[in-house]
Chains A and B, each alone.
Chain A
Amino acid sequence: MSDHGPRITDHNSASPTRSPLPRGEGQGEGENSPVRLGDDSSRLGANDTRHSTEAETTASLQSPVPDPQSLKRRVIPCLDVKDGRVVKGVHFVGLRDMGDPVELAARYEREGADEIVFLDIAASAENRATALDMVRRTASALSIPFTLGGGLRTLDDVYAFLDAGADKVALNTRAVQEPDLVDACAERFGSQCVVVAVDVKPIEGSASVGSAPRRQPPTRSPLPSGEGHTDSRRLGTEADPSTPHSPRPRYGVFTHGGQRPTDLDGAAWAAELADRGAGEILLTCIHRDGTGDGFDTAFTGALARTLPCQVIASGGAATPQHLLDAFEAGADAVLAATMFHSGAYEIASVKRFLADRGIPVRLSQ
């Protein structure tokens, strides 16, 4: 059984020849014991120096997540790739081939990136071989984890990329169309390799409606696709009593690269994904994406501090201060592209900036 409630069990539709990649370590259910080793109080990390913000204070009232000794906050460069080439403007000196995602990723690793996310923005059956080759070369070149997103439609697709060496896959549009795929991936490969990208933006005229995450995710629809749902994930059908603190706008979920609206509520959808076994939520606030105005820290922080899984902030990062703001709001990780690709900031100096301000980050030894 899993950490995340009931799962579908029929995932035989995609059986590779060998039986590799069963559920990752630690996805099983076990019994807890209160016995502790040693004195935990001796290990107060840098977290106790984290700044308190209004958003954090608000979130902490509803957050069941303790934050004693915690994981390092991750800084994750994101590479948009197409046909095996980096497509967002990269302006580095010293790279032999600035369009090669593997070479760029290796550079970011040397600079101190904690992880790399590749988004295959034009994934198709035709360029599958190219994408798999990129993943294989990346797995050989990198000694940090990396995630591949884009064009993953079936359990077989996910298997192919994990088998090629990706540590995680990111589902997006497909998870909305077929939510049970999230369960199936978590069941088969383990939650630790299942990232679900959630693209949201505020819905106009909704500012008076509370929108914090639901404590109790809605019951799963029996339908295998996103169509025909009448459950409370839907926008406008949910009156969540758990958020009396401050009225916030509702956030709607969008698919197809942020182009197509759905009737899903962002907070409720994220909670459902965690319940279905998503190991991490990659939360892109598309109203900030490309603006350089910084992350939507209020919404991102509220989710990060409430969900039982980690939340990666995405959309809007342009300065180290933006990353700091996201971490102070509660984000577990931040995704950024242009501020690194442009050469404006180097990851090592950004992480030093964060460390100097009390954010626990991994620094080079």
Chain B
Amino acid sequence: MIGILDTEAGNLTSVRAALDRLGLAHRTLWDVETDGLDAILVPGQGRFGAVMASLDARGWREALLAWHAEGRRLVGICVGQQILFEGSDEDPEAVGLGLLAGRTERLDFPKRPMVGWAPVEWQRDGLPPGDAYFVNSFAARHSDAALATTTYGERFVSAVGSGSTVAVQFHPEKSGAWGQEVLAQLLQS
């Protein structure tokens, strides 16, 4: 059972549909409750600060940190990757989960926002190479936890991993058959 954490940052239709296509059972999480979950998925298209505020209002910051500390699977998408860091230039006052050192910065994209397909260069074996669909203006320029990088004007971190937590800056649920495969591996590995 996958728990899709509602961060009030856009509709969850695409993520739910992707899990349906993968045949993975899921439920949407609002209040903190994690019974019976195999993984928590944090999707997101919203602002960094708004997402953190939404999580804090329901006690999810502590719950997610505990979930990670217990070695349970936590998967982030887009803003779901960004909140793993300490902060973001998007909302400098907001405090991220801090599972990863560093912060998310506004990147020098040729055209902004970055909307479209770009290659993901995995830095570790196991995940398939391919083109991912990105929608973002912010990303981490570097991270010791980088699993992949992507270049659009400049290079940035397009996937991270730390312990049982993994996250991607792109949208696997919108990245075609390749994205489905990546999402399945992230959730189940």
Contacts and interface: CB of A to CB of B under 8 A. Distances in A.
A191 interface: yes
For the complex of A and B, 10 pairs with smallest distance between CB atoms: A26-B137, A30-B89, A30-B106, A71-B116, A165-B13, A69-B151, A28-B90, A72-B117, A26-B136, A37-B142
B130 A365 contact: yes
B141 A37 contact: yes
A199 interface: no
Interface in B1-24: 8-11, 13-14, 17-18, 20-21
B155 A37 contact: yes
A123 B80 CA distance: 36
Interface stretch (A136-144, A174-182, A234-242, A251-259): A136-144
Interface residues of B, number: 66
Contacts of A271: none
B105 interface: yes
Interface stretch (B34-42, B63-71, B160-168, B172-180): B172-180
Interface stretch (A60-68, A149-157, A204-212, A223-231): A60-68
B106 A31 contact: yes
B46 A40 contact: no
Given A68-B110, A362-B117, 18 more contacts: A18-B8, A22-B9, A22-B10, A23-B50, A24-B113, A26-B136, A28-B48, A28-B90, A31-B106, A35-B142, A40-B154, A65-B111, A71-B114, A109-B176, A114-B117, A279-B113, A362-B131, A364-B177
A314 interface: no
17 contacts: A25-B45, A25-B135, A25-B138, A28-B106, A30-B105, A37-B142, A68-B110, A69-B152, A71-B118, A71-B152, A74-B117, A140-B20, A143-B176, A162-B11, A165-B17, A190-B113, A192-B135
Contact of B10 (A21, A43, A69, A309): A21
A35 to B, nearest CB: 6
B9 A167 contact: no
B129 interface: yes
Given A28-B90, A36-B141, A279-B115, A164 B13 contact: yes
B144 to A, nearest CB: 12
A279 B175 CA distance: 19
B48 A25 contact: yes
Secondary structure call for the A interface: loop
Nearest to A363: B131
B45 A24 contact: yes
A202 B47 CA distance: 41
A30 B113 contact: no
B115 to A, nearest CB: 5
Nearest to A65: B110
A308 interface: yes
Interface string A1-44: 00100000000000000111111111111111101111010010
Nearest to A34: B108
A167 B155 contact: no
Contacts of A309: 111-112
B105 A139 contact: no
A40 B156 CA distance: 10
A43 B151 contact: yes
A20 B174 contact: no
Interface in B85-119: 88-92, 105-108, 110-119
B75 interface: no
A183 interface: no
B115 A25 contact: no
Contact of B118 (A72, A140, A280): A72
Interface of A: 3, 18-33, 35-38, 40, 43, 45, 65-72, 74, 109, 114, 136, 139-141, 143-145, 162-165, 167, 190-192, 279-280, 307-310, 332-333, 362, 364-365
Most buried by A among B110, B130, B138, B180: B110
A144 B132 CA distance: 10
A46 B79 CA distance: 29
A20 B118 CA distance: 28
B90 A143 contact: no
Contacts of A163: 11
Nearest to A66: B110
Contacts of A364: 177
Contacts of A35: 141-142
Given A24-B45, A25-B135, A31 B89 contact: yes
B148 to A, nearest CB: 12
Contacts of A365: 128-130, 177-178
A347 to B, nearest CB: 12
B105 A25 contact: no
Contacts of A26: 90, 106, 112-114, 135-138
A21 B12 CA distance: 10
A144 B110 contact: no
Contacts of A139: 13-14, 17
